[in-house]
């Protein structure tokens, strides 16, 4: 569903928050980047702004600790996602950027005041600004797609559906750069997924193609992100309606007598340490963790 906000305004918000000047300290050659020209004119402004604000260059630096070659590109895909192909590039589709914009509520003020961030709504007790609701899902999506490529490149053993694992990994990574980034991106992502589910649910929730897809439902993705968040920070519990959240023990973990349930966050952390961390440059990782990727 298309809302009233203009694409350019939203992309401006999105990129303005994540773009930083390329850092010499994080320069590397493993990650190649490509801005692909879209065929549809409507995606031209998105490409221009992504390029102008060096979004892929920023992502390139963010991923620089990975010690194996990868290509990241932006492209017109014909759908919000491009299916990941073995040894293929990480693709961020212009359609997905458009999707993020389209499901958020329209701009109330046509000329927003940057000193007064607009609150779109709340997740649990927490207010969500437009900046959080655009940057969060973009970053989460980039990390989700990156996770698929990392699983493939390193032949990481993945039990469970691949896209759930990618959601879990992305949410886990969002917590590795300090509380503030975690709060902004998790709140923004869950707000976006909640909105997305709300505007599309009725038409597709019983559709066999939707339920039979390789990806979880949008609502399942919402709970995936929350589940990892709850495992790391109990404060995120306020997001969920506990009586209907039967998965709570798996998200929080549990020790009762001889029974132990490890939280999903800790399971992902263990898997990350076992299978991915050996392929990461630790010095660069420290630098990445100490970089302010999403300034206030």
Partner 1 sequence: MIRITAAGALALAIVCLIPRSPAMAQTPPALQNDMIVIRYNQPFNAKYKPIYDRLKERKLLEQFAAFLSPIKLRGRLELSLEEGNPSVCSGPNSYYDGAGGVHLCYSWFDFMETQVAVERPRAPNEPFTANSLGLMPGFTRSEVMVGGAVSVILHELGHALFHIQNIPLLGREEDGADQIAALIMLQFGPKVALTSIKGAYNAWHHMNAVRLQRQKGEIRPDQEADEHSIDIQRAFNFLCIAYGKDPVIFKELAEQLLPRARRDNCADEYKQTALAFRKTLLPDVDQAMMKEVLRMEILRPEDYK
Query: Rounded to the nearest whole angstrom, what is the least distance from the CB of residue 198 to partner 1 in the complex?
Result: 10
| Binding region for partner 1 (CB under 8 A) | 83, 86, 151, 155-162, 164-165, 168-169, 197, 205-206, 208-209, 211-214, 216-217, 219-220, 222-224, 240, 244-247, 250, 254, 257-261, 264, 267-268, 270-275
Compute the distance between CA of residue 295 and CA of residue 241 in angstroms, rounded to an integer.
Answer: 31
Query: Rounded to the nearest whole angstrom, what is the least distance from the CB of residue 271 to partner 1 in the complex?
Result: 4
Spatial CA neighbour of 102 closest among 192, 185, 166: 192
Q: Which residues pair with 127 in a beta bridge?
A: 122
Q: Is 294 helix (H, G, I), strand (E, B) or coil?
A: coil
Compute the distance between CA of residue 65 and CA of residue 286 in angstroms, rounded to an integer.
Answer: 9
Is the Cβ–Cβ distance between 20 and 114 less than 8 Å? no
Query: Rounded to the nearest whole angstrom, what is the least distance from the CB of residue 68 to partner 1 in the complex?
Result: 17
Query: Which residue's CB is nearer to partner 1, number 24 or number 258?
Result: 258
What six digits make up the tokens of 231?
């495992």
Query: Which residue's CB is nearer to partner 1, number 132 or number 166?
Result: 166
Is the Cβ–Cβ distance between 144 and 170 less than 8 Å? yes
Query: Rounded to the nearest whole angstrom, what is the least distance from the CB of residue 216 to partner 1 in the complex?
Result: 8
Query: Which residue's CB is nearer to partner 1, number 9 or number 261?
Result: 261
Query: Rounded to the nearest whole angstrom, what is the least distance from the CB of residue 80 to partner 1 in the complex?
Result: 14
DSSP state of 36: P
- State the DSSP H helix or E strand holding residue 231, giving kind and residue range, or none if neither: helix 218-232
Is the Cβ–Cβ distance between 142 and 25 less than 8 Å? no
Query: Which residue's CB is nearer to partner 1, number 46 or number 193?
Result: 193
Query: Which residue's CB is nearer to partner 1, number 64 or number 224?
Result: 224
Query: Rounded to the nearest whole angstrom, what is the least distance from the CB of residue 140 to partner 1 in the complex?
Result: 16
Q: Name the packing angle between helices 94-103 and 179-204 (round to 10°).
A: 80
Query: Rounded to the nearest whole angstrom, what is the least distance from the CB of residue 114 to partner 1 in the complex?
Result: 35
CA distances from 286 to 12, 25, 136, 265, 281 (A): 29, 11, 22, 21, 9
Query: Which residue's CB is nearer to partner 1, number 164 or number 281?
Result: 164
Surface-to-core class of residue 111, CB atoms within 10 Å of its CB (0-12 exposed, 13-18 middle, 19+ buried)? exposed
Query: Rounded to the nearest whole angstrom, what is the least distance from the CB of residue 262 to partner 1 in the complex?
Result: 8
Query: Which residue's CB is nearer to partner 1, number 43 or number 239?
Result: 239
Compute the distance between CA of residue 5 and CA of residue 108 in angstroms, rounded to an integer.
Answer: 9
Query: Which residue's CB is nearer to partner 1, number 155 or number 296?
Result: 155
């Amino acid at each position: 569903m298309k809302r009233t906000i203009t694409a350019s305004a939203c992309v401006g918000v999105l990129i303005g928050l994540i773009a930083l000047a390329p850092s010499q300290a994080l320069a590397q050659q493993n990650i190649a980047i490509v801005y692909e020209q879209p065929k549809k004119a409507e995606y031209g402004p998105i490409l221009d702004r992504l390029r102008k604000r060096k979004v892929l260059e920023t992502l390139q630096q963010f991923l620089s600790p990975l010690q194996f070659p990868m290509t990241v590109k932006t492209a017109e895909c014909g759908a919000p996602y491009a299916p990941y192909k073995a040894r293929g590039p990480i693709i961020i589709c212009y359609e997905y950027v458009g999707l993020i914009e389209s499901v958020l509520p329209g701009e109330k003020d046509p000329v927003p005041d940057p000193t007064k961030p607009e609150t779109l709504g709340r997740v649990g007790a927490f207010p969500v600004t437009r900046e959080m609701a655009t940057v969060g899902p973009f970053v989460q999506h980039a990390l989700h797609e990156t996770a698929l490529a990392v699983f493939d490149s390193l032949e990481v053993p993945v039990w469970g559906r691949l896209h759930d694992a990618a959601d879990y990994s992305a949410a886990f990574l969002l917590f590795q750069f300090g509380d503030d980034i975690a709060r902004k991106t998790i709140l923004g992502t869950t707000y976006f997924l909640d909105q997305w589910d709300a505007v599309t649910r009725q038409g597709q929730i019983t559709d066999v193609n939707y339920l039979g897809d390789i990806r979880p439902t949008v609502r399942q993705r919402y709970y995936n992100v929350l589940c990892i968040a709850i495992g790391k920070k109990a404060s995120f519990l306020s997001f969920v309606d506990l009586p209907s959240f039967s998965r709570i023990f798996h998200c929080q973990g549990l020790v009762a007598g001889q029974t132990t349930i490890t939280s999903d966050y800790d399971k992902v952390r263990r898997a990350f340490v076992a299978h991915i961390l050996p392929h990461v440059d630790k010095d660069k990782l420290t630098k990445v963790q100490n970089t302010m990727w999403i300034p206030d």
